[in-house]
Structure 1
Amino acid sequence: MKHLTCHLDFISPYAYLAFEHLPQALEGLSYSVAYRPVLLGALLKHHGQLGPAEIPAKRSWTYRHVLWLGHAHGIPIRMPATHPYNPLPHLRLALATSAGGDISRYVAETLFREVWRSGGEPGDPARLAALAATLRPQRDAGGEAVKAQLKANTDAAIARGVFGVPAFEVDDRLFWGFDGLAMLRAYLHGEPWFDGPDWDAADQRPSLLLRSKS
């Protein structure tokens, strides 16, 4: 059995789609999954990236794309009333349901579906209160311990090379994105390509387009 760590942030529609599709994508394989909330904004900042929704033209495409992917794969999806929004309350509530840095699939499902199926305002206080009543957190979602756990999760993800969500970590390898699920399945299925030269050698070449940070 392979153990996967799924790095996720509820703000990401691609993370939602990948979460919903994961059981089908890996059907018949032996695996376990740890669902680990991280702050996408901090990942993007560390790597000097803008989120798709921060680039107007890309924002329009992203929303159309994720709605199409939901339609094409039979995954219910409705855009929230506001996006991007502040995901911190959802991330902290999720972690408050656990004593550590990982959450159950039930918790992740409840939060993802609230954001990506309801069509409501994610930051609405009444909706957040209803979520808290449903999930019955063990810890104070606004407490320092939960805040520290989210930072620790995010810092650890950055140290492992995670640059966005969803990111699936297995055997010290990272697979990124909804469209990376087919590649992840091939790896877990024992595809020989992953033992060949292409995986390790793919990025071992100079780039002439790196911008100076000065």
Structure 2
Amino acid sequence: MPAPIEFFFDFSSPYAYFASHRIDELAARFGRDCLWKPMLLGPAFKASGNQRLIDQPLKGAYSTHDWERMARWMKVPYRLPEPFPVATTSAARAFWWLDSTEPRAAKSFARAVFAAYFEGGRDISAKAEVVAIGAAQACDAQALAAAIDEPVWKDKCRAETDAAIARGVFGSPFFFVDGEGFWGADRLGMLAEWLESGGW
């Protein structure tokens, strides 16, 4: 079995939301699994000296337009949430807790979080909102709420973010296939050609 594709993302990244609609299908086409790995962009931006797209002159306005255009091109629901962006710590911790025992459930939860934010405009920075999203996915709401505050999942989220940065992840989405890194939803086509050809 070939190595899985690794999909690093922050839940508040529109481009990661778009990528989440395609990456599993792409991986399956080449007989690969896809490991979803939420991280926090704040520390990555600090490490790279970057800043949020929305705050950058010229680039911020372009990105806002591009997100809407990309949604139309991909034919997926999307609206820029308010507030945007938001902290995604609770959602990331909840994911890692779920993933430790039920990876499929964790992935379904991640999709639901993306949809809640970029389709429903719900504030996923709020712990109560994250718990409600999990409960709608048949998660044990009480256990999920407790896990978000447990040191083990705080440490796990921090460790995953640090490990991603150590590997060179500076933005979201970021993919690794057989050790090769690809940044951005617009690199999915290149990633597919890399897999088809064996690289170049």
Q: TM-score range by the shorter chain?
A: 0.7 to 0.9
The answer for the alignment partner of 1:161 in structure 2 is: 168
Query: How far apart, in 1, do the equivalents of 2:68 and 2:147 lie?
Result: 34
How much has 1:3 moved relative to structure 2?
1.1
**Letter paired with 2:46:** K
Secondary structure at the aligned position of 2:35 is classed as: strand
- The aligned runs of 1:55-134 (5 Å cut-off) are 55-99=56-100, 104-124=106-126, 126-134=128-136
The alpha carbon displacement at 1:50 in A equals 0.7
Mapping for residues 26-41 of structure 1, pairs under 5 Å: 28-41=29-42
Structure 1 residues 115-124 or 6-15, which shifts more?
Answer: 115-124
**Aligned twin of 1:51:** 52
- Structure whose residues are more often helix by fraction: 2
Give matches, 1:181-200, under 5 Å. 181-190=188-197, 194-195=199-200
The alignment's TM-score, normalised by the length of structure 1, stands at: 0.81
1:211 matched residue in structure 2: none
Separation of aligned partners in 2, 1:60 and 1:142: 36
Where structure 1 has 5 or more consecutive residues not aligned to the other structure, the ranges are 196-214
Distance, in Å, in 2 between the alignment partners of 1:153 and 1:61 is 30
How much identity, in percent, do the aligned residues show?
27
Give the match for residue 150 of structure 1.
Answer: 157
Moved more, 120-129 or 67-76: 120-129
Q: State the distance in 1 between where 2:168 and 2:127 align.
A: 34
Going from structure 1 to structure 2, the CA distance change for 1:110 and 1:145 (only over 3 Å counts) comes to same
Amino acid at match of 2:159: A
**Paired residues of 1:38 and 1:154 also in contact (CA < 8 A):** yes
| Greater Rg by CA | 1
